[in-house]
Amino acid sequence: MIAGIVPCYLKSHSQGEYVFDRGWADAYERAGGRYYPKLQASVPFTPVTGPRLLIRDGVDRDEIGSALATGIVALCQVTEASSAHVTFAPQAEAKLLARHGFLQRTDQQFHWQNDRYGSFEDFLATLNSRHRKAIRRERREALAAGITIHALNGSDITEEAWDAFFAFYMQTGSRKWGRPYLNRAFFSLIGQSMAKDVLLIMARRNNRWIAGAINFVGSDTLFGRNWGAIEHHPFLHFEVCYYQAIDFAIARGLKTVEAGAQGEHKLARGYLPQTTYSAHFIADPSLRRAIDDYLKRERAYVAEAGRELAAAGPFRKTVDERDE
C-alpha cells in the first residue's frame, strides 16, 4: 500500500508558477550550466498553499516525509534535472525539506479575511476614515462610464463569456510576460468540468464585455487569479478583482479571499500580507551556494516588509475613529 507520494512535473520553462526562478536559470546558463529540465511539485497555474507531500493517514509522517524528500533528490538525479522546486507548501513541509538540504524561500500574498461581515458596509466600518472614503469613491468612479458588473458562476458562464475573458487574458499576458501560458481550450475545459467552482467577474459597457477576472471557489476561500481588460477605466481593476470578490465572499460566507501573488496596492483595499513558503533542491553545489546566500537576504527582506505592511494596514486602530 502506498504510504506517500509527491506529484511532480518535469518542466522545460518556468511559466505559470508564481515563485520566480528565471534569474537563477539565466545566471546558471550564462555560467555554462543547463537549468532545464527541472522538477516542479505544485498545483498547476495557481499559487495556492496546500500539501505537496501527500502522506496517508496512520503512518509516521516524519518518516514518510523524509523518505519522500530523499526520493525527490533521487528523482532529480534520474531525470538529470538541475533542481526540484516544492512551491506554496505548508510551512511544516518546507521545514521538513530543509532538513534534507532544500533551500528555504518565502514570499508574500495578500489575503482578505471575513470577520463574519453581513455586508460590504460592515467591512468598511472596520477601516479608518480615509480608507473608507477612498474605497467608496473608487467603487463609484469605477462604474461612472456606464459600466455594469456581472458575477458569472456555473451555467451562467457561456462560451461567449470565455471568448471575451480569453481575450483579456491574452492582452494582460502578452503585455506582462511576453507569452501567455494557457490556451483557449483550457478555459472551455474548466467550464465543462468545474463551472460551479469558477467565478467570472465581468465588466460590460455599450453591450460588450470590456474586462474580467477569474476566481476559483474553494470550501472556505475564494482564490482570485487572472485579470484583463480591453478598455482602461479608473479603479475598474480594483472593483472587478478586489471589491467584487469581497462581496461574493460575504454573500457565500467564505472565510478568505486570496488575491494571489504580489501587489502591495491590495493593502489599502483590506488585504493583509501573508507569508508563503517554498523549498528548493539545487543539484549543482556552486549554484546552490549562490542561491542560498541570496535567499538568506531575501527572507530577511520579506519578513521586515511583512511587518511594515501589516502595521500600515487600513483598519481602525481605535474604536473612536469615525467618519468626518
Summarize pLDDT for 37-79 with one digit per residue, the tens: 999 999 887 788 999 999 999 999 999 999 999 999 999 999 9
| SS3 category, 67 | helix
Same domain, 95 and 126: no
Same domain, 144 and 234: yes
| Rounded Cα gap, residues 72 and 38, in angstroms | 11
DSSP state of 127: B
In a domain, 316, yes or no: no
Convert the chain into a string of H (helix), E (strand) and C (coil): CCCEECCCEEECCCCCCCCCCHHHHHHHHHCCCCCCCEEEECCCCCCCCCCCCEECCCCCHHHHHHHHHHHHHHHHHHHCCCEEEEEEECHHHHHHHHCCCCEEEEEEEEEEECCCCCCHHHHHCCECHHHHHHHHHHHHHHCCCCCEEEEEEHHHCCHHHHHHHHHHHHHHHHHHCCCCCCCHHHHHHHHHHHHHHEEEEEEEECCEEEEEEEEEECCCEEEEEEEEECCCCCCHHHHHHHHHHHHHHHHHCCCEEEEEECCHHHHHHCCEEEEEEEEEEECCHHHHHHHHHHHHHHHHHHHHHHHHHHHCCCECCCCCCCCC
Domain span at residue 293 reads 4-108+274-311
Same domain, 122 and 227: yes
| Rounded Cα gap, residues 8 and 40, in angstroms | 5
pLDDT band for 179, please (50, 70, 90 cuts): low
Q: For 288-297, how does the pLDDT look when each residue is reduced to its tens digit (9 = 90+)?
A: 999 999 999 9
Strands 198-205 and 148-153: antiparallel
Task: Give me the chain's average pLDDT, please.
Answer: 93
Give me the pLDDT at residue 324, please. Answer: 44
Q: Cβ(211)–Cβ(230) under 8 Å?
A: yes
CATH of residue 84's domain is 3.40.630
Same domain, 74 and 170: no
In a domain, 321, yes or no: no
Same domain, 52 and 144: no
In a domain, 317, yes or no: no
Q: For 294-314, how does the pLDDT look when each residue is reduced to its tens digit (9 = 90+)?
A: 999 999 999 999 999 889 899
What would the mean pLDDT of 110-127 be, rounded to a whole number?
97
Length of the chain as a residue count:
324
Taking phi over 0 as left and psi of -120 to 50 as alpha, with beta for the rest, 154 belongs to left
Kind and range of the H or E run holding 70: helix 61-79
Same domain, 244 and 289: no
Q: Cβ(159)–Cβ(296) under 8 Å?
A: no
- The total of structural domains in the chain comes to 2
In a domain, 67, yes or no: yes
User: How far lies 307's CA from each of 89, 141, 228, 278, 303, in Å?
Assistant: 21, 32, 31, 20, 6
What would the mean pLDDT of 171-198 be, rounded to a whole number?
85
In a domain, 153, yes or no: yes
| Residue 228, CB-side half-sphere exposure with 13 Å CA sphere | 19
174: number of Cβ within 10 Å = 12
Give me the pLDDT at residue 252, please. Answer: 96
In a domain, 61, yes or no: yes
Same domain, 78 and 146: no
Give me the pLDDT at residue 298, please. Answer: 97
Is residue 259 pLDDT above 90, yes or no?
Answer: no
End-to-end CA distance of the chain: 66
Same domain, 193 and 225: yes
